[in-house]
Structure 1
């Protein structure tokens, strides 16, 4: 089973839910941090890194000696990553989405591919939890290819948890796509509700079953609960605005380990998700 933990708004507690859920279930579990622009799962899991790989994406490299300035490559590129100006062909690697269309249409075979560095992928483990995350290169704007590289390490068996980026843009879709369940984390505030609605609509487009965790549940108003009822979204957990939890978080500790009653609650939520997805009576 693959569960993506997402939200429309940053700071709602996605990483808190993902890491505590990972250490609460029994059996093989893998945690992928797909928030490659600002990964922070490692701060709580503290894995031993066993592998580091540089991730690149293919971009066009044009041989001007072969090029006849036909402009077919420029015409096919939706992202304006190639410009033909007189006898010169300019490429803009930061705009390239690595579709390969320019190579396919070039009649002279003047275009080959070279790699552009996106960031690094790190793999490790801690206390039985397998860990993978990506770290986007500073100044890099193309997060989805690195997220896909992290997702490519998904296990064939066992439970995989994905800590998705905030928002509802392309990086989030890359993290949520082709998962079995999306666990949305929100807070009962006007901003939390507004961005939750955006996230719900995105998940509906992907046609993935979803559930809700309400963090800091004893603050704000009851509009998030009313919205969940109106959309028939099950509320699987409520986490209070608790000083002990906040203190545990500030130390970089997982409160499911320091407060055993919460480990049982996270395990119960995992069992609920397994039932909702038809993946069995529980996660072993």
Structure 2
């Protein structure tokens, strides 16, 4: 099972939920930190990093001695990563999405591929919990290619928990797409509700079942709960605004370690998710 833990906005407690859920489940679980622009799950899970791997992405390399400057490569590139200027081909590496279309259309075979560094993958574990995170190279503009590499490195035999980036843009879609369930984390504030609505619309487009965790649930008002009810989104867990929880977070510690009674609550959260996923798959099979 692949579960993506996402949120419409930052600071709702998404990493808190993903790290505590992973640690509570223990053996047979792997946590992927796909917030590659600013990964922080390792601060709480504190894994032992055993291996680091550099990640490159292919970009075009033009041999101008073969090039006839026909501009076919420029015309096919929807991202404007190539420009033919007189008798020179300019390659804007940061705009390239590594689709390979320019190589396919070049009639002279003048385009090959070279690598550009995206960042690194870190592999490790905390006790029986597997851990992978990605860290983007400073100055890199596009995170989805690195997010996809983090996800591709996951062990398919394990329960995979994805700590997604905040927001609803391309990086979040890359972290949520092709998962079995999206667990949305929000807070009962006007900003929390507004950005939750955006996240729910994104999940609807992907046609993935979802549920809700409301953090700091005893603050604000009940508009988030009323919205969840109107959209038929189950609230699977509420986390109170509790000083002990806040202190644990500020010290980089897991709730389930500081307050052992929360371990069972996170296990029950997973069981609720598994029930929804199994029901959804059964309905899909029945309708196919």
TM-score scaled by length of structure 2 = 0.96
Q: 1:114 Cα shift?
A: 0.3
- Looking at structure 2, the residues matched to 32 and 26 of structure 1 have their Cα atoms a distance apart, in angstroms, of 14
- Looking at structure 1, the residues matched to 126 and 26 of structure 2 have their Cα atoms a distance apart, in angstroms, of 14
Aligned-residue RMSD, C-alpha:
1.0
Match runs of 1:85-96 below 5 Å: 85-96=85-96
Alignment: residue pair count:
280
- Answer yes or no: is 1:128 the counterpart of 2:128: yes
Residue segments in structure 2 that go unaligned for 5+ positions in a row:
281-288
- Looking at structure 2, the residues matched to 156 and 39 of structure 1 have their Cα atoms a distance apart, in angstroms, of 22
Q: 1:279 Cα shift?
A: 7.7
- Displacement over 6 Å in runs of 4+: none
Residue segments in structure 1 that go unaligned for 5+ positions in a row:
none
Q: Give CA deviations for 1:54-76 in whole Å, capped at 9, x if unaligned.
A: 10110000000000000000000
Residue number in structure 2 paired with 1:28? 28
Residue number in structure 2 paired with 1:276? 276
Secondary structure of the structure 2 residue equivalent to 1:36: coil
- Looking at structure 1, the residues matched to 156 and 99 of structure 2 have their Cα atoms a distance apart, in angstroms, of 27
- Looking at structure 2, the residues matched to 86 and 24 of structure 1 have their Cα atoms a distance apart, in angstroms, of 61
- Looking at structure 2, the residues matched to 210 and 57 of structure 1 have their Cα atoms a distance apart, in angstroms, of 32
Match runs of 1:66-81 below 5 Å: 66-81=66-81
Secondary structure of the structure 2 residue equivalent to 1:131: strand
The answer on whether the counterparts of 2:26 and 2:129 sit within 8 Å (CA) in structure 1 is no
Residue number in structure 2 paired with 1:8? 8
Q: Give CA deviations for 1:236-271 in whole Å, capped at 9, x if unaligned.
A: 000000000000111111011211111110000100
Q: Give CA deviations for 1:71-108 in whole Å, capped at 9, x if unaligned.
A: 00000000100000111111100000000000000000
The answer on whether the counterparts of 2:182 and 2:209 sit within 8 Å (CA) in structure 1 is yes
- Answer yes or no: is 1:216 the counterpart of 2:213: no
TM-score scaled by length of structure 1 = 0.97
- Looking at structure 1, the residues matched to 217 and 68 of structure 2 have their Cα atoms a distance apart, in angstroms, of 64
Residue number in structure 1 paired with 2:61? 61
- Answer yes or no: is 1:103 the counterpart of 2:65: no
- Looking at structure 2, the residues matched to 158 and 38 of structure 1 have their Cα atoms a distance apart, in angstroms, of 25
Match runs of 1:1-284 below 5 Å: 1-278=1-278
Higher helix content, 1 or 2: 2
